[in-house]
Amino acid sequence: MSSNHKPNAKPTTKQVTVRYFASIREAMGTGSETLDTQASTVGALRQSLMQRSPQAAAALASEQPVRMALNQTMCAADAPLQAGDEVAFFPPVTGG
């Protein structure tokens, strides 16, 4: 009675590189990191990162004008994530 269907299987994780810039980098405490995530979109990754700390929640909050890039191309929150992707979060004006 073997079956390939696993009703309680965990969602698959993927490894992505996340980069933070300007005030978001300060709030996250790092400029970049590689992490395993179950997030299927850039927006879902943003939501999961907000759970880390009050500072992360404030910096990445939906009411904040955070820009997102996927593999160095601006993207929307619904952009799909794949293993090996690079995601960047930054404020609209990063300054010089």
Domain assignment present for residue 9? The answer is: no
pLDDT of residue 87: 98
Residue 74 lies in a domain: yes
* 1, part of any domain: no
DSSP 3-25: -S--TTPPPPPEEEEEEE-HHHH
Q: Is residue 6 part of a domain?
A: no
Residue 1's pLDDT band (cuts 50, 70, 90): very low
* Over residues 20-26, mean pLDDT: 94
The pTM (predicted TM-score) of the whole model is 0.84
d(CA 77, CA 79) in angstroms, rounded, equals 6
Is the pLDDT at 32 greater than 90? The verdict is yes
Whether residue 63 is contained in a domain is answered as yes
Confirm whether 48 is domain-assigned: yes
CATH code of the domain covering residue 80: 3.10.20.30
**pLDDT for 49:** 97
* Number of structural domains found in the chain: 1
Residue 5 lies in a domain: no
Res. 59: pLDDT tops 70: yes
Question: The domain containing residue 41 runs over which residues?
Answer: 14-90
Nearest alpha carbon to residue 14 among 55, 54, 59, 48: 48
Per-residue pLDDT, 64: 87
Q: What is the pLDDT of residue 88?
A: 98
Q: In the numeric block, which tokens belong to residue 76?
A: 């929307």
First to last CA, the chain: 64
Is the residue at 95 inside a domain?
A: no
